[in-house]
C-alpha cells in the first residue's frame, strides 16, 4: 500500500508538470515556486507579506524564499522595497506588473484545475477533495511528529 501511495503521488507530481523548473503546470514561463509566491502575495493584497510569512506559506527555507523574492524583483514583480536601516522587516508587495502576472497565473491555474476536475467522474469529485484534505492533514501531523522526535533527540 505504501508503494502504491508513493508511486501515485510521484506520478501525479510528474504528470502535473511540477518538476519542470522553467514553467508552471498551467503553462506560464516561470518556476512553480515563483508562481506560488505571486499567488500568496496577490492574496495578501496591498499589505503584502513579511518574508518569514512567505517562508511558512510556501513551506521553504529562508534562503530559498530569498532567492524567489530576488527573482521576482529582477522580473519587476515586486514593488521596490524600502531599505531597512532600522532593522525592522519590510513587507513584500506586488508591483503593478506583479499583480497582472499573478492574476494571469490565477486564471490559467483555475482553467487547468477545472479541466482536471472535469476529468474526474462527478460522483467521485467530493471524495477526491476529502482525500486531498486528509493528505494535507497527515502531512501537518507528520511535521508535528518529526518536530517532536527532534526535540526528544536534543
How does pLDDT run along the chain (154 residues), one tens digit per residue? 999 999 999 998 898 888 887 888 888 889 999 999 999 999 999 889 999 999 999 999 999 999 999 999 999 999 866 555 555 678 999 999 999 999 999 999 999 999 999 999 999 999 999 999 999 999 888 876 666 666 666 5
pLDDT at 68: 94
Distance CA 66, CA 60 (A): 10
pTM of the shown model: 0.79
In this prediction, residue 141 carries a pLDDT of: 86
DSSP 45-111: GGG-B-HHHHHHHHT--HHHHHHHHHHHHHTT-BPPPPP-TTS----B-B-HHHHHHHHHHHHHHHH
81 in helix, strand or coil? coil
Amino acid at each position: 500500500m505504501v508503494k502504491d501511495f508513493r508511486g501515485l503521488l510521484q506520478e501525479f507530481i510528474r504528470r502535473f508538470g511540477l518538476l519542470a523548473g522553467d514553467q508552471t503546470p498551467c503553462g506560464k514561463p516561470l518556476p512553480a515556486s515563483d508562481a506560488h509566491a505571486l499567488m500568496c502575495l496577490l492574496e495578501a493584497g496591498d499589505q503584502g507579506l513579511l518574508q518569514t510569512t512567505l517562508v511558512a506559506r510556501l513551506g521553504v527555507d529562508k534562503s530559498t524564499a530569498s532567492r524567489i523574492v530576488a527573482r521576482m524583483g529582477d522580473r519587476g514583480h515586486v514593488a521596490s522595497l524600502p531599505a531597512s536601516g532600522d532593522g525592522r522587516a519590510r513587507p513584500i508587495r506586488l508591483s503593478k506588473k506583479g499583480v497582472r502576472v499573478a492574476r494571469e497565473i490565477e486564471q490559467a491555474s483555475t482553467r487547468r484545475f477545472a479541466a482536471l476536475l472535469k476529468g474526474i467522474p462527478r460522483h467521485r469529485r467530493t471524495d477526491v477533495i476529502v482525500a486531498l484534505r486528509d493528505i494535507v492533514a497527515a502531512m501537518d501531523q507528520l511535521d508535528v511528529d518529526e518536530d517532536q522526535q527532534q526535540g526528544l533527540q536534543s
